[in-house]
Amino acid sequence: MPGPEDTSTGGSHGPGGAEGARPSDTELSARLERLDSSLGQVRAKAEVAAPKGPDTSSKSGVALAFRLGAEFVSGVLVGSLIGYGVDYLFSITPFGLIVFTLLGFAAGVLNMLRASGEGRKKTPHGS
């Protein structure tokens, strides 16, 4: 037996609980437009508040690690080769290799810092 709470008649209750209180298509379109505009404002504020830095989102961590390693190794190798050449030309055997290997090491570290974005000069405000 159907009771007073039977909802099998096909009617649906709207937000107010009254039958037939469904919003019309124009009301829904207006709500959708208001939602879209407010979402656009929130997204614009989020883009302004986002920090501007080097874009590393497209690079994987492994690729960055290989690049940093290559920067360091190439600096040391180039310094060592120049030192060996200086030793060969001027017959000062260990000293050129030692000095230029240390310079290559320093250049490799500096190149790593530049590649990772940490080597930028920090200037005081107002200058």
Q: State the pTM of this model.
A: 0.48
- Three-class SS state of 13: strand
Q: Where does the pLDDT of residue 66 fall: very low under 50, low under 70, confident under 90, or very high at 90 and above?
A: very high
- The residue type found at 106 is A
Contact 71, 112 (CB under 8 A): yes
- Three-class SS state of 10: coil
Q: Kindly report the average pLDDT of the chain as a whole number.
A: 80
Exposure string of 46-68, with b = 16+ CB inside 10 Å and e = fewer, is eeeeeeeeeeeeeeeeeeeeeeb
Residue 67 tokens read as 């690049």
- Could you report the per-residue pLDDT of 14-52, keeping only the tens digit for each? 555 555 678 888 998 999 999 899 988 888 888 777 666
- What lies within 8 Å, CB to CB, of 69 at 6+ separation is none
Q: Where do the domains of the chain lie? A: 61-116
